[in-house]
Amino acid sequence: MTRLSWSVVPAPSPLGALTVGSSPTGLCLVTWGADPERVGVAAARLELEPVEGPSAAAEQVAEYLAGERRRFDVPLDWRLTHGTQRTVLQTLFRAVPFGSTTTYAELADASGAYEGHGYTAARGVGSIMGSNPIPVVVPCHRVMAAGGLGGFGGGLPTKEWLLAHEGVLAPTLF
């Protein structure tokens, strides 16, 4: 059976750690904290055997957290996403670089996935951000509400830390 390599990458507080999983195709999973159970679920969905071990993706995540990397160039395995979710996340990955942000509505427009849906488009993108299987690398922390930070699956302190890490927020503001 083909393997899903995974490892836990230590991270500063409030993140604590990230669990990173890679298939032979590419990075497919980043989870908050040490989460081998979620690795098992992803491996089962992808019909892979979870095996703990290093990967280029985990190394790049560690470099990003240490302030040594601004762009991820490992291949991504998008198979844990589908349809509109994949379209929106791929648009986010391509179009919103380190140190910049967008809004839910702007991302909905840029993706083209919600043509004619108006207000509900931003809500749809918000739901997609919450289901992102590759946060940090596919930077859902860079997507904001029209009037502020918006929500975040890793918690608002984590979103604030990531945005300060990228120079979007001043560290003294939170």
Whether residue 140 lies in the annotated active site: yes
What type of residue is 113?
Answer: A
Catalytic entry in 46, 140, 143, 162: 140
150 CB contacts (<8 Å, ≥6 apart)? 104, 126, 143, 144
Around 144, how many Cα atoms within 13 Å sit in the side-chain half-sphere? 14
Pull the structure tokens for residue 89: 């996340």
Phi first, then psi, for residue 4 (nearest 5°) are -110, 105
| Catalytic residue positions, numbered | 140
